[in-house]
Structure 1
Amino acid sequence: MKGKGRHLFVTLAMGLGLTLILLWLLDGKLSTRAAPVAELHVCPSGCTYSSIQAAVDAANPGDVIKVAAGNYTDIHQRDGITQVVYINKAVTVRGGYSTGDWTTSDPVANPTTLDAQGLGRVLVISGTIAPTVEGLRITGGDATGQGGGPPGYDVGGGVYIYAATATISNCIIYSNTASTAALGDGGGLYLYSSASALSGNTIVSNTASTAGGGYGGGLFLSKSAAALSGNIVQGNIASASDWGYGGGLYLWQSDDATLSGNTVRGNIASTALGGRGGGLYLYKSAAILNGNIVQGNIASLSNRGDGGGLYLSKSAATLNGNTVQSNTATLNPDAIGQGGGLGIWRTDAFILINNLVANNHANNQGSGLYLEGSLTDPTSGCLVHTTIADNGGGGQGVYIDEHVTLAFTNTIIAGHESVGVFVTAGSTTTLEATLWYDNETNTDGGGVIVTGTINVYGNPAFMAPSAWDYHITIGSAAIDAGVDTGVTTDIDGESRPARAGYDIGADEYPFGVQLAPDYKSTVESDMIIIYTHVLTNAGSDTDVFALTLSSTQNWATLLTSTPITLTPGATATVQVRITVPAGSDGLIDTTVITATSQTNPVVFDTATDITLVGRVVSVALEPNRSATAYPDTVVTYTHTLINTGNYTETFTLTYSSTRNWATLLTNPSIILTPEATATVQVRITVPGGVISGTADRTVITATSDFNPAISDSVTDITTVGLAADVALAPNRSAAAGPGAVIVYTHTLTNAGNGPDTFAITHASSQGWTVMYDTPIALGIEQTATLVVRVAVPFGVISGTTDTTIITATSQSDFAAFDSVTDTTMVTGEQWDTYLPIVLRKSTWKSF
């Protein structure tokens, strides 16, 4: 009754309040306006807030929290979980500011780092809210013991989003771990029931679990219609000790998720056991993947691997315009490897359009693609305008296992050392409009293969396969050889068809005109240079081409008359004069000449002339690297320095290391001619006794001696892994009579460099009952008393000796264990009990 009365009171009060408000509005005496948006400043010292959490707590929905450069490591507890920042309101948190400029955010110049230092998560966003997070570096998160995922798994080492519609952009999320004790999901981020938008982020060197199965080393989506665009997901690991799924990303029941324009590169599903989906793993997720690059991922380093790039399980996904390249099922040549590029398992009605699957590797089946179904869960789908080329290893270009129904249309299958398409008995595959080239055998297997009415046997004439460029060129047998499937664009978004016919494969040749070559020249002020190009009518009909040009410095003049009429295959010379005025040293002119078909204006080509005046200083140092290392070990990172200027330059190398672990191995002064390269190496020496999860960030900078304002940098992130060790002591012995229970105590010590869990096992020589608690979790250098109870059975003969070996084994590394021996000797005789009770004296003694 109290509940109903209170509800009635509130309802009446609200009704009365609304009535009064309405009367005031009608009377013209009440004006309404939104509360002004406040701007809160956070910096390590000198601001109103030195803690981001304090600013969030003080903010109102809609407020903007601007955070200056610095390291923010304060830890807070909210709702029973621990993190650096807990957001439960619609605020904007943006990093990259300096205390001297609160207007412009520059996260590169003003790095804003949130570091949980392994004491909890970094960021939690919870509730039906829509906050924005921008320009932050999120690191050091560890969700061990924080839970958050069913059934109580530790999830979201760096970022945990629950039910919120957050926007996260331009953040670097690195070196976070979901669990160091058991199964973990989402080393970098975990989203549950979230329609968040993630764009322009770098998600690197995160781990889902170091001590159990792992799902989604970089990111885990659970029942989330999230939109991911333009992110880099690189160097993440799903599991470092067990089976791993989705080294980069794992999608679980996320049908409405979209992934567009992301780069998923260099991720590993498992470094220890089997792995599936080196780059991505989709489970019951009919997601949409558009224009992503999935490259250089590995399903397993040492064991069975399935789906080096992607693995689809019961996921009717749509993949459009993706590049799946140079992925590996397993690095162990003796292990089972299936689906080097893509593995599809028990999935109905998937769709692949305009995808490139090339240079992938699998030991056994399906170097490019592997598909499998079951009697109750058959696999079916269609692949339209697909290029499958140069996939290696023992596998085939496409391996279709049992219970699969597949339809290929407009497909290039080329460059496979064994079989192009292998179909197992019990499966059916239909191929229409297929270009076959340079396969040892085009088709094989006991299944049904229908090759259709159009089969082209000729060179696809790829642009530069050795440089991973699988665009077709003017002489390709794929041009105009396909059929109309209703697809109106190609993998690059260019119009399909370019003219009357449809090209086979992912790429549509932009047919009709070719203008070449491009030029790049260095000249002096007050001179004239003439560039000569060749215009070719690459179509099959006479056409008229109009010439236009643009010049960034307005130095260019077109010397060739326009328009130009050309018959099929004919050429014409196109000349451009560049007049460089006096006093132009250091300037650059970029002139673009465009030749456009007057028959079909969507058909055009361009040539670019770059004119550099005087000395242009430019340098590139690449790439960024990351690795996991252990105490008392050394890691060497190798980078490439490139003189991208037009003069011979001297570059000076400098470096900084957050932990002072780095040593530069390369001469710090390097002389390079234009376009020349040099190798730059730095050695990271991890000292002994370092706690797992500790990270060193080494930045190497190459600076021009001629112009110190010109420089480039790389970042090497080294994360210390868990070096497990354990000590168990001392050995014990005792004597007892039959029926006694002997209690032995031992000291268990975690001698490793991180928290660990130890399983206790035993072996009794007599097969007696031995009791103890297991497992036992210990922090670094923490000890625990291990109580062991040995039960001496009744009726055991005096003088019998039992040797029980007690072993404590690390669950992070099974090679780390220690043992003690408990020796029990039986003495004397037992009391015998009869009904009715008669006591007979026994002579054994207890100790």
Structure 2
Amino acid sequence: MLDSNQVLNNIANPSVTWHDAGGGLHLWASGPFILTNNIFAGNAASHYGSGIWIQGYSVTNGSLGSLVNNTIVQNGGGTGGEGIWVGEYSVVTVTNNIIVSQTIGITNSCPVSSVVTARYNLFWANNSDPVTGSDAVLNDPVFVGGGDYHITSGSAALNAGVDAGVTTDIDGEARPFGIATDIGADERATVGTTAEPATASAITSTVGGLTTTVQIPTGAVTESTALTYTALAITGQSDPTGFSFAGHAFDLDAYQSGVIVSGFTFSVPVTVTLHYADADIAGLDEDSLVLEYWNGSAWVDAACGDYDRHPTENWLSVPICHLSQFALFGEREYLIYLPLVLRNS
């Protein structure tokens, strides 16, 4: 079983490796195997299977397995440039995978002796897709970008998969988070509410047993506004100077009349209350924890008022005035060593 790995920028070339096929993964007479929640991106092979190569040896020594909730992106080079190449004597099930920017999405090169069963996979921007199977999604996964293959709010992968027994994603977050499983390695953890001008409301998200609450008071919006909270495993940007990431990041987005409002600002502050674990702040000065927002080029303190910190109980509250990507950071702890001088009496 291969679960929750990133397989990036590898090359299968006979001058470098023993075989010239399977840039990301080479499965020869393997089984039973299961690949879940992995990302295969930027790999190359001088022959077949730039992403994944699967083949059996004989009728009695074949390859048997399944690929579930993987993300396969832009693996190139070689004869075919396939995301998944299946050769002879193989039985392979492909479910809930994103396959994007390949010369060929999935190939069964030997249908006489091999069976490929595909369902609920997303195909996009491939030159050809000879195997799509049932319930395929042919639309944009809308990744974060820049090598970050988390899906965003506009992704066609959202709630488009089927329950295939995979209960967490590549970040360890629960599946499904919404009404159905997301396709690909990432399960987008989004919750929301509709804020009204004359009514207070709140968003509560619990990930890994830790709760974050966004409290929207009366008068925070001037018209009906849909607000969404999406937990993020990483920020995608470098940490601010002198600070380290404290394990919590999220997007807050606002929609009016179904259209996202960029740079949305509240009329009065809303309050974010965030709980964290000891492991999140290991090596950090807990009293220095700050919630920062990404302004497009740098991290900036998000507070538009005073912090309410409770270090003994592992939570803090902070008022914020606008929406963006947010993350919790803390200053690194430093130890001071004093010299010990021994004198002979």
Name the TM tier (shorter chain).
0.5 to 0.7
Instruction: Tell me which residue corresponds to 2:71.
Output: 387
CA contact (8 A) 1:556 1:578 kept: no
Per-residue deviation, 1:462:
1.6
Instruction: Tell me which residue corresponds to 2:253.
Output: 536
Instruction: Tell me which residue corresponds to 1:456.
Output: 137
Equivalent-residue separation in structure 2 for 1:555 and 1:347 (angstroms): 48
Count of residue pairs the alignment pairs up: 237
Equivalent-residue separation in structure 2 for 1:397 and 1:404 (angstroms): 16
**Matches for 1:736-755 after TM superposition, within 5 Å:** none
Q: Quick one: which amino acid aligns to residue 422 of structure 1?
A: T
**Matches for 1:29-68 after TM superposition, within 5 Å:** none
Equivalent-residue separation in structure 2 for 1:455 and 1:405 (angstroms): 20
Among 534, 548, 555, which residue is 2:273 paired with? 548
CA contact (8 A) 1:372 1:379 kept: yes
CA contact (8 A) 1:481 1:503 kept: yes
Comparing both structures, which one devotes a greater share of its residues to strand?
A: 1
Deviations 1:644-702 (A, max 9, x none): xxxxxxxxxxxxxxxxxxxxxxxxxxxxxxxxxxxxxxxxxxxxxxxxxxxxxxxxxxx
Instruction: Tell me which residue corresponds to 1:323.
Output: 6
Equivalent-residue separation in structure 2 for 1:490 and 1:611 (angstroms): 27
Equivalent-residue separation in structure 2 for 1:611 and 1:385 (angstroms): 34
Matched residue SS, 1:344? strand
Per-residue deviation, 1:368:
0.7
CA contact (8 A) 2:290 2:329 kept: no
Matched residue SS, 2:189? coil
CA contact (8 A) 1:429 1:450 kept: no
Q: Please give the TM-score of this superposition, normalised by the length of structure 1.
A: 0.25
Q: Quick one: which amino acid aligns to residue 93 of structure 2?
A: A
Instruction: Tell me which residue corresponds to 1:473.
Output: 152
- Give % identity: 34
Per-residue deviation, 1:553:
3.1
**Matches for 1:95-114 after TM superposition, within 5 Å:** none
Among 18, 25, 46, which residue is 1:363 paired with? 46
Equivalent-residue separation in structure 2 for 1:594 and 1:396 (angstroms): 48
Equivalent-residue separation in structure 1 for 2:184 and 2:63 (angstroms): 23
Instruction: Tell me which residue corresponds to 1:607.
Output: 326
Among 473, 479, 488, which residue is 2:167 paired with? 488
RMSD: 3.8
CA contact (8 A) 1:396 1:419 kept: yes
Instruction: Tell me which residue corresponds to 1:501.
Output: 180
Q: Quick one: which amino acid aligns to residue 70 of structure 2?
A: T
List alignment gaps of at least 5 residues for structure 1. 1-317, 444-448, 523-532, 558-573, 580-590, 596-604, 619-708, 710-847
Instruction: Tell me which residue corresponds to 2:89.
Output: 403
Q: Please give the TM-score of this superposition, normalised by the length of structure 2.
A: 0.59
**Matches for 1:146-185 after TM superposition, within 5 Å:** none
CA contact (8 A) 1:594 1:606 kept: no
Provide closer, same or farther for how the CA distance between residues 419 and 592 of structure 1 changes in structure 2, counting only shifts above 3 A. Answer: farther
Matched residue SS, 1:553? helix
Equivalent-residue separation in structure 2 for 1:385 and 1:609 (angstroms): 29
Equivalent-residue separation in structure 1 for 2:289 and 2:49 (angstroms): 55
Provide closer, same or farther for how the CA distance between residues 593 and 498 of structure 1 changes in structure 2, counting only shifts above 3 A. Answer: farther
Q: Quick one: which amino acid aligns to residue 369 of structure 1?
A: I
Greater C-alpha radius of gyration:
1
CA contact (8 A) 1:431 1:451 kept: yes
Equivalent-residue separation in structure 2 for 1:556 and 1:364 (angstroms): 50
Matched residue SS, 2:45? coil
Equivalent-residue separation in structure 1 for 2:71 and 2:325 (angstroms): 26
Per-residue deviation, 1:470:
1.5
Per-residue deviation, 1:390:
1.0
Q: Quick one: which amino acid aligns to residue 429 of structure 1?
A: V
**Matches for 1:765-844 after TM superposition, within 5 Å:** none
Q: Quick one: which amino acid aligns to residue 11 of structure 2?
A: T
Among 415, 421, 434, which residue is 2:106 paired with? 421
Deviations 1:479-526 (A, max 9, x none): 10001112111111101111111100111011120489999589xxxx
Equivalent-residue separation in structure 1 for 2:19 and 2:231 (angstroms): 48
Provide closer, same or farther for how the CA distance between residues 463 and 376 of structure 1 changes in structure 2, counting only shifts above 3 A. Answer: same
Per-residue deviation, 1:451:
0.4
Provide closer, same or farther for how the CA distance between residues 606 and 548 of structure 1 changes in structure 2, counting only shifts above 3 A. Answer: farther
Matched residue SS, 2:77? coil
CA contact (8 A) 2:121 2:132 kept: no
Provide closer, same or farther for how the CA distance between residues 412 and 534 of structure 1 changes in structure 2, counting only shifts above 3 A. Answer: closer
Q: Quick one: which amino acid aligns to residue 471 of structure 1?
A: H
Q: Quick one: which amino acid aligns to residue 253 of structure 2?
A: T
Q: Quick one: which amino acid aligns to residue 148 of structure 2?
A: D
Per-residue deviation, 1:534:
8.1
Instruction: Tell me which residue corresponds to 1:71.
Output: none
CA contact (8 A) 1:386 1:411 kept: yes
Instruction: Tell me which residue corresponds to 1:344.
Output: 27
Per-residue deviation, 1:459:
1.3
Matched residue SS, 1:484? coil
CA contact (8 A) 2:12 2:23 kept: yes
List alignment gaps of at least 5 residues for structure 2. 192-228, 243-249, 259-269, 276-284, 292-301, 308-314, 338-345
Provide closer, same or farther for how the CA distance between residues 552 and 490 of structure 1 changes in structure 2, counting only shifts above 3 A. Answer: same
Q: Quick one: which amino acid aligns to residue 548 of structure 1?
A: T
Instruction: Tell me which residue corresponds to 1:441.
Output: 128
Per-residue deviation, 1:535:
3.5
Equivalent-residue separation in structure 2 for 1:548 and 1:338 (angstroms): 50
Per-residue deviation, 1:331:
6.7
Matched residue SS, 2:160? coil
Deviations 1:703-734 (A, max 9, x none): xxxxxx9xxxxxxxxxxxxxxxxxxxxxxxxx
Q: Quick one: which amino acid aligns to residue 485 of structure 1?
A: A
Matched residue SS, 1:451? coil
Deviations 1:165-209 (A, max 9, x none): xxxxxxxxxxxxxxxxxxxxxxxxxxxxxxxxxxxxxxxxxxxxx
CA contact (8 A) 2:176 2:187 kept: yes
Structure number with higher relative contact order (C-alpha < 8 Å, ≥ 6 residues apart): 2
Q: Quick one: which amino acid aligns to residue 13 of structure 2?
A: T
Deviations 1:526-564 (A, max 9, x none): xxxxxxx984368x9xxxx9721589437979xxxxxxx
CA contact (8 A) 2:20 2:46 kept: yes
Instruction: Tell me which residue corresponds to 1:696.
Output: none
Equivalent-residue separation in structure 1 for 2:289 and 2:85 (angstroms): 57
Per-residue deviation, 1:409:
0.7
Equivalent-residue separation in structure 1 for 2:13 and 2:288 (angstroms): 55
**Matches for 1:370-769 after TM superposition, within 5 Å:** 370-373=53-56, 374-394=58-78, 395-416=81-102, 418-425=103-110, 426=112, 427-443=114-130, 449=131, 451-452=133-134, 454-464=135-145, 466=146, 468-512=147-191, 513-514=229-230, 520=240, 535-536=252-253, 547-549=272-274, 552-553=286-287, 575-577=303-305, 607-608=326-327
Equivalent-residue separation in structure 2 for 1:393 and 1:406 (angstroms): 23
Matched residue SS, 1:352? strand
Equivalent-residue separation in structure 2 for 1:438 and 1:336 (angstroms): 28
